[in-house]
Amino acid sequence: DAGVIQSPRHEVTEMGQEVTLRCKPISGHNSLFWYRQTMMRGLELLIYFNNNVPIDDSGMPEDRFSAKMPNASFSTLKIQPSEPRDSAVYFCASSPGLATDTQYFGPGTRLTVL
Amino acid sequence: QKEVEQNSGPLSVPEGAIASLNCTYSDRVSQSFFWYRQYSGKSPELIMSIYSNGDKEDGRFTAQLNKASQYVSLLIRDSQPSDSATYLCAVKINGWTQGGSEKLVFGKGTKLTVNP
């Protein structure tokens, strides 16, 4: 079975541009998570969906960040406008049930904002 | 105090030795604890979960939990160079009082190097 799929794997953009990260969770998984990882802050949960509904977005840093899950097989994380401090690795993960079931991580998107 | 704390390391051990990784957490009511391994440039993967006080063994890995001390550890016996990675401790917390939900909170990780 395919694991969690993320695209693009690498993204380099200039400050002020819009960035869209994409994720396809494992088929049949009910929960999807977006994380951000930096050396300074470690792995942080940004937002968590269950059955396509946002459950917890308390980790979304500010209004420049938004996430959607229009169906069970696709989610996007958008940053508009992007800033250099958004540079990080963004992981998408999915789990069969709730947030505390085993989470399966995608390969990540390395974002660099110049 | 941060919710989940780990020594960042690096922790360096010789091949065949026991590696000991430690984690403390602040939420006294936490009931679920996890260890994830992350190789350089890769994504985290779950290697152990523990829910009760005491030890849980899985092959060369042993997770230890002491809820009274709010402490969880991971022991790796007969360490191999292939164990070289960053180990992330994750704790289930109740975030409802902060406008969130039940979720995993990760420590920053301890980098382990096993020298041949």
pLDDT at A101: 74
Q: Does the beta carbon of A42 lie under 8 angstroms from any beta carbon of chain B?
A: yes
Q: Which two tokens stand for residue B91?
A: 């704790």
Q: Is A71 on the interface with B (CB under 8 A)?
A: no
**Given this model, what pLDDT does residue B95 score?**
64
Contact B103 A99 (CB under 8 A): yes
Work out the minimum CA distance from A100 to partner chain B, whole angstroms. 6
User: Parallel, antiparallel, or unpaired: how do β-strands A109-113 and A88-95 relate?
Assistant: antiparallel
A105 with B101: Cβ contact below 8 A: no
From chain A, the residues in CB contact with B109 under 8 A are 42-43
State whether A42 and B95 contact (CB < 8 Å): no
Reported in sequence order, the residue ranges of chain B that DSSP labels E, i.e. its strands, are 4-6, 11-14, 19-25, 33-38, 45-50, 54-58, 61-66, 71-76, 85-94, 102-106, 110-115
Beta bridge partners of A110: A10, A89
Do the chains contact at B105 and A105, CB–CB below 8 Å?
no
Q: What is the mean pLDDT of residues A91-111?
A: 89
Closest chain B C-alpha to A22 CA, distance in angstroms: 16
Cβ A107–B42 below 8 Å, yes or no?
A: yes
Q: What is the pLDDT of residue B29?
A: 82
pLDDT for B93 beyond 60: yes
B32 touches A: beta carbon within 8 Å? yes
Q: Do A58 and B98 touch (CB under 8 A)?
A: yes
Q: Which of B30, B11, B102, B12 is nearest to B72 (CA)?
A: B30
The rounded mean pLDDT for chain A is: 93
In this model, does residue B97 exceed pLDDT 70?
no
Q: Does A108 touch chain B (CB under 8 A)?
A: yes
Predicted local distance difference test score (pLDDT) of residue B8: 81
How confident is the model at residue B99, as a pLDDT?
Answer: 57
Name the nearest CA neighbour of B4 among B55, B70, B56. Answer: B70
Query: What gap in Å lies between CA B81 and CA B27, rounded to an integer?
Result: 34
- In sequence order, what are the beta bridge partners of B13? B114
Q: The tokens 């096993």 sit on which residue?
A: B114
A48/B101 Cβ within 8 A:
yes
> What is the Cα–Cα distance from A80 to A66, expressed in whole angstroms?
8
Mean pLDDT of A41-66: 92
Length of chain A: 114
Kindly state the tokens that stand for B26: 């602040």
**Tens digit of each residue's pLDDT (9 = 90 or more) over B21-72:** 999 998 888 889 999 999 999 999 999 999 999 999 999 999 999 999 999 9
For the CA atoms of A59, A31, A38, B67, the dihedral, rounded to the nearest 10 degrees, stands at 80
